């Protein structure tokens, strides 16, 4: 007959396996899009200006900052995350990607969303304003 110790050992192994499985699936199935892959440094003054520009320009009619998607993806956790694109490509939301998404939005459309962005932010906003918006989005990375 098996001793109680063997039974207890089996239980410990099972619980351990279960915990490992949970941890593992949490990592792979969790919010993949918010996994930060690059360290993010933010210019806080520019981020404050960017917030004002985002409000003034109407970006926040389509984008939220609380993690809930609107007609556009949320900006919460966006910077540094991996972005699945309609093209099937997956890219990291670094400064270059964020800037391009604003000034040339049709070039990299996020999977699951329509190409709704105005195409001319690159002309109606100055380079500095676009940079400030990028800093604001980066300040919402976590």
Inter-axis angle of helices 95-103 and 127-139, nearest 10? 120
139 binds ligand HEC (CB under 6 A): no
Of 30 and 58, nearer to ligand HEC (C-beta) is 58
138 binds ligand HEC (CB under 6 A): no
Among 71, 87, 128, 142, binds ligand HEC (CB under 6 A): 71
Rounded to an integer, what distance in angstroms lies between the CA atom of residue 94 and that of residue 12?
Answer: 44
* Residues within the interface to ligand HEC (CB under 6 A): 57-59, 61-63, 71-73, 78, 83, 93, 98, 101-102, 105, 109-110, 113-117, 121, 133, 137
């Amino acid at each position: 007959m098996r001793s109680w110790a063997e039974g207890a050992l089996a239980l410990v192994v099972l619980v351990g396996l279960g915990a490992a499985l949970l941890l593992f699936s949490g990592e792979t199935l969790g919010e993949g899009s918010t996994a930060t892959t690059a360290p993010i440094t933010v210019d806080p003054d520019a981020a404050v200006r960017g917030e004002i520009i985002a409000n003034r320009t109407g970006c926040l009619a389509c984008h939220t900052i609380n993690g809930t998607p609107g007609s556009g993806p949320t900006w919460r956790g966006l910077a540094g995350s991996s972005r699945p694109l309609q093209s099937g490509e997956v890219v990291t939301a670094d400064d270059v990607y964020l800037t391009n998404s604003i000034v040339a939005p049709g070039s990299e459309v996020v999977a699951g969303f329509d190409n709704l962005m105005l195409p001319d932010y690159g002309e109606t906003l100055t380079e500095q304003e676009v940079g400030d918006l990028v800093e604001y989005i980066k300040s919402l990375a976590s």
